[in-house]
């Protein structure tokens, strides 16, 4: 197997991040599993089994600029370059009317979902721009909340709409440097965070209803596809969702 490049996946200890990082590793990408807790990252790598590509666990709080810089330095020291960033780490909050959302919750969600994505994209862009050969790819996890909201989701939805602006601008600004940027909007992938959807979550009409979910491996397959394109081609936006989820009929 030929090594396809070096990938960094944030939020790689659990859920979507773990699934995508594992799939990239098995597909031949040297993969950095990034997350706040190394104790979660190392078992995630172990669970992937033996691969020809190499894996590295790096603990990093993506809201801290110095830790993000250290993440990218560790990556380039280990593998020589950065070819792919999957900007995945994020957090949400229970369905709550805006006037009942603590300001601290807003600040925390903005710090992780938006500022963290900015800091990682900034570091990746700098590395990709200056390496030889120049270039690389950034894939942002937008979520279907980048398109339409769930009830009571102001902080999460606002940050995910902002990710769309980040994606479009990076796709434009990356052109002179062979840096491609795309976004995957994910709907109802079955992870620990999505378990409540199988029981019942608030709907636009005021009811509580269970929703269809899909295997998280479908997300991993989609990201591996996006990552594997040559840099003269780009999936700018992809929506991968449970077929029967009520996305199109949310409002």
Is residue 156 part of the annotated active site? The answer reads yes
Count of CA atoms in the C-beta half-sphere (13 A) of 26: 17
Picking from 10, 238, 20, 43, the residue whose alpha carbon sits closest to that of residue 117 is: 10
Is residue 146 within 8 Å of 90, Cβ to Cβ?
no
Tell me the C-alpha distance between 81 and 162, whole Å: 28
User: Could you read off the pLDDT of 187-238 as tens digits, one per residue?
Assistant: 999 888 788 889 999 998 889 999 999 999 999 999 999 999 999 999 999 9
Structure tokens that stand for 31 in this block = 């993969």
pLDDT at 70: 98
For 4-14, write each residue's pLDDT tens digit.
999 999 999 99
Assigned CATH topology for domain 5-241: Rossmann fold (3.40.50)
3-state secondary structure of 189: strand
Partners of residue 182 on adjacent β-strands: 139
Tokens of residue 192, six digits: 């620990």
Residue 242 main-chain phi, psi, to 5 deg: -65, 130
Per-residue confidence band for 155, with pLDDT thresholds at 50, 70 and 90? very high
Q: Which of 231, 234, 236 lies closest to 183, judged by CA?
A: 236
d(CA 177, CA 158): 29
> Strand 29-35 to strand 208-209: parallel, antiparallel, or no bridges (unpaired)?
unpaired
Residue 160 has pLDDT above 80, yes or no: yes
**Would the pLDDT of 119 be above 70?**
yes
pLDDT tens for residues 40-89? 999 999 999 999 999 999 999 999 999 999 999 999 999 999 999 999 99
Residue 19, H or E segment: helix 15-26
- Mean pLDDT within 98-111: 98
pTM of the model: 0.95
Query: Using CA atoms, how far apart are residues 5 and 3, in angstroms rounded to an integer?
Result: 6
Residue whose C-alpha is closest to residue 15's, from 50, 52, 40, 51: 40
pLDDT > 80? residue 250: no
Which of 156, 170, 180, 222 does the annotation list as catalytic? 156
- For residue 224, how many other CB atoms are within 10 A of its CB? 18
**Where residue 145 falls among pLDDT bands split at 50, 70, 90?**
very high
What's residue 193's pLDDT? Answer: 78
> Is the link from the previous residue into 133 a cis peptide, with omega within 30 of 0?
yes
CA–CA distances in Å: residue 42 to residues 13, 14, 208 = 8, 11, 38
């Amino acid at each position: 197997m030929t090594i396809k490049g070096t990938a960094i996946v944030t939020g790689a200890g659990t859920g979507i991040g773990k699934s995508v990082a594992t799939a990239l590793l098995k597909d031949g990408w040297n993969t950095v599993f990034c997350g706040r807790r190394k104790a979660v990252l190392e078992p995630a790598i172990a669970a992937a089994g033996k691969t020809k590509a190499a894996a590295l666990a790096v603990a990093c709080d993506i809201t801290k600029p110095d830790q993000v810089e250290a993440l990218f330095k560790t990556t380039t020291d280990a593998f020589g370059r950065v070819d792919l960033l999957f900007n995945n780490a994020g957090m949400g909050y229970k369905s709550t009317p805006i006037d009942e959302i603590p300001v601290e919750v807003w600040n925390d969600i903005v710090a992780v979902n938006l500022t963290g994505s900015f800091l990682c994209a900034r570091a990746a862009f700098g590395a990709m721009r200056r390496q030889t050969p120049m270039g690389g790819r950034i894939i942002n996890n937008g979520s279907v909340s980048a398109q339409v909201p769930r009830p009571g989701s102001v902080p999460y939805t606002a940050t995910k709409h902002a990710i769309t602006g980040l994606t479009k601008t990076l796709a434009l600004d990356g052109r002179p440097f062979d840096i491609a940027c795309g976004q995957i909007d994910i709907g109802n992938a079955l992870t620990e965070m999505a378990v409540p959807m199988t029981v019942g979550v608030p709907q636009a009409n005021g009811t509580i209803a269970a929703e269809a979910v899909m295997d998280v491996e479908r997300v991993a397959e989609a990201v591996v596809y996006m990552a594997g394109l040559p840099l003269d081609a780009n999936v700018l936006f992809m929506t991968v969702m449970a077929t029967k989820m009520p996305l199109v009929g949310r409002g």
